[in-house]
Amino acid sequence: MIAAQHRHQLAAELLRLKTDRSGMAMVEFALCLPFFIAFTMGGVELANFITTKMRLSQISLQVADNASRIGSGSLLSARQISETQINDLLTGAGLQGGAMNLYTNGRVILYSLEPVANPNTTDRYKIRWKRCRGAKTAYVGSYTQGQTNLTGFVSGTQTIKAPADGAVMVVQLSYTYRPLIAQAFIPKPEIIEFGAMTVRDTRDMVGPANGVGIYNTENATISSC
């Protein structure tokens, strides 16, 4: 009699548990929580990556724009550029990068693309000078200083050409992205950006006796590559 009563109570308890839904929401939340956290962290990481890439793109364009404007001299003479001016604009790029630590995690390369000769009847170009800054020395850029007989500065699908009697300041920037959470949430850690601006004013391209086109009367440290 007692055994039968126990079986009846056990059956009633099992039936109650079968129909009990009070903990279902908690169980569902526990099951979904890992996926929710992963999506949230991935979204934060991807947003930070995109923001960093946009900032680096702006920096590369800003360096090219500043390089196209530098120079000293009167309106009646060709403007002369100096190593100090180049160093200043590269320093400005580092300050613009702020907490990204541009020169610790990356490298900025600045080129002067010019026609091989004027008049430019051959449609060929040269890299008169090249200046670099940043600890990421493994990134050497696309061209070397003094390289000539180029069809233009090729970057991806773009080909940049300098105007006759002028020059184009070209910037290549490489940066190794440091993830906030995990590298698995981003496409790849290396970010490459490109910028180019035509020199605004008449510029002394040849410069002093070295023919590089950059003066250095202050004996400033050259941002060599």
Question: pLDDT averaged over the chain?
Answer: 87
| pLDDT digit string, tens, across residues 174-221 | 999 998 887 777 788 999 999 999 998 888 888 887 778 899 999 999
Q: Give domain limits for the chain.
A: 33-215
* Rounded percentage of the chain residues whose pLDDT exceeds 90: 57
Q: Answer whether residue 15 shows pLDDT above 80.
A: no
| pLDDT digit string, tens, across residues 129-140 | 999 999 999 999
Q: Answer whether residue 117 shows pLDDT above 90.
A: no
Q: Answer whether residue 20 shows pLDDT above 60.
A: no
Q: Which residues pair with 129 in a beta bridge?
A: 112
| pLDDT digit string, tens, across residues 84-112 | 999 999 999 999 999 999 999 999 999 99
